[in-house]
């Protein structure tokens, strides 16, 4: 995810960066499901799930904010 964003910064302007930010944000939603699955299957304990989910939500918010900035 971060490598894709970094690569797009040196690309052809904001359109490419916005596309990569959209993909990265979509990956966050996928990761959220995988965290829930890992929790449900008892691969991670509830406190770990809560911490990771909070961090993931924060990253998704940052990506959304950056995307809004890039689009304007």
The answer as to whether 2 is a domain residue is no
In the structure encoding, which two tokens stand for residue 30, read together?
């996928």
* pLDDT tens per residue across span 10-62: 566 788 888 888 888 999 999 999 999 999 999 999 999 999 999 999 999 99
Whole-number pLDDT of residue 7: 60
Cβ(56)–Cβ(33) under 8 Å?
A: no
Cα(64)–Cα(35) distance, integer angstroms: 20
Q: Residue 40 and residue 15: Cα distance in Å, rounded?
A: 38
Domain that holds residue 61: 25-72
Q: What angle do CA 28, 31, 37 make, to 5 degrees?
A: 150
Taken in order 29, 33, 36, 38, is the CA torsion positive or negative?
Answer: negative
Domain count, the chain: 1
* 5, part of any domain: no
């Amino acid at each position: 995810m971060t490598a894709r964003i970094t690569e797009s910064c040196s690309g052809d302007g904001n359109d490419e960066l916005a596309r990569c930010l959209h993909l990265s944000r979509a990956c966050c939603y996928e990761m959220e499901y995988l965290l829930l699955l890992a929790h449900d299957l008892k691969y991670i304990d509830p406190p770990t799930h809560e911490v990771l989910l909070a961090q993931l939500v924060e990253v998704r918010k940052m990506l959304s904010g950056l995307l809004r900035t890039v689009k304007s």
